[in-house]
Chains A and B, each alone.
Chain A
């Protein structure tokens, strides 16, 4: 425990507490409107989705195009449980069930496809997301094509904040561990990684299942935020939207994904009045960013408090 208590972590913790209470205060005083709050929830949920996909694509270098499928597993698991037990306990049970199913499904997909080198995973995940969607469409417990509506709305700023922080904590720790290093080495050069004694299949499967579990968690939060879940909300489009966050922010950069989600969230808000041309402008912005920053906003770098002392030092130098 004492290893956690260093100056950097304390500064981060204080900063996070300030952000939390400022926004909490603004919500209480209605400076943040209900509409803004709903956008804030969108950003939070997509940060979790982006980070979870970054584990698979950015860190391990395996292209997955079916992330919305795992999200839908979590969404429907929570929706079904919340229908009979509309409490926070119910939500947590739903999240747990969603994660377990998601882990099982991702394991079945990952083990055969990730033994191969190459982009087989992209095709397999694309197919699996479709299978999940079609299964949900035809199950009576999930309400068929019309899905489940009138789900108890339990989403709140403290709940969102807790889950987003939990995700950042877990993904950051994952990346900065021996397991994360093994995954990054697979992205860098799979043959060399194997020659360094790394069981590449094992680490690819671990990263994929970890990402799928987090996506299920985000899905559960999604269903309690937006009252209604339909199988069609989790098609290829949603998977691509998550993929955009990762590519836009920079493959392998956690802070990049977070910043990208905020930017895209704000772009969505700003473009809201221009209904028809919204998608065109949105696409244009993405194209422009990709022309000037093909590696994404942050590349594979991270924003970090390590950078702070350097800034101060530079400023002093200028003034003297």
Chain B
């Protein structure tokens, strides 16, 4: 365990880092003059810079709405969201501007099928004019090698496995040196064997890049394994029901899953999650 990793053990650096998110009393109501569905109910959440924050909740509870609000795909009805002290959106200015300081990895994957993996990864810097195509390609090749993706540069996304596609998408995001990585149930469709490999791969990437990670999942095990902080949300409208600080030291590997501390943390939180899951089931929620 080298010095940098040791520094990361337990808590991530706060305050002075980049990518600290503050969600302040945010409310989101869909169709205010019609059906008036409240998706987010006075939600307040603090995410420290460089921290992995897992958002756990049942389907349809509004977690994705929060993510969309942070990124700027949706407006908020009231409240504020701040990134490193700067206001992204507020009641007066309800829609944030999507930008490459916060990049989303989508649930069903959004790699452009008509571009090769390499072209996908190089997309961001090239579009923004930050790098020439040749420079971008070189950087992309290096990052791909780092992430263990050599050999599929010139394939199309449709030709490789879904696990690989996810990793390409994460590398595509990281190419732009974002402050925050927003992941919306990215491993939902993978089988649990692939998932565990993906988890370790994500942590590996994280240890090299220290971005803030905002990760939505419905899988409590995944949340405790990956996160520094786990926020358990209520069913719709969503609000943090319980916030757990995971004090298992980083770097972690799959042996953590059977450690005693892990099981203790699961016990603490399982009931809360299960309660919300039952409520969501009874309400007949459709997955977002």
Chain A partners chain B: no
Chain B positions near chain A (C-beta within 8 angstroms): none
Residues of A within 8 A of B (CB): none
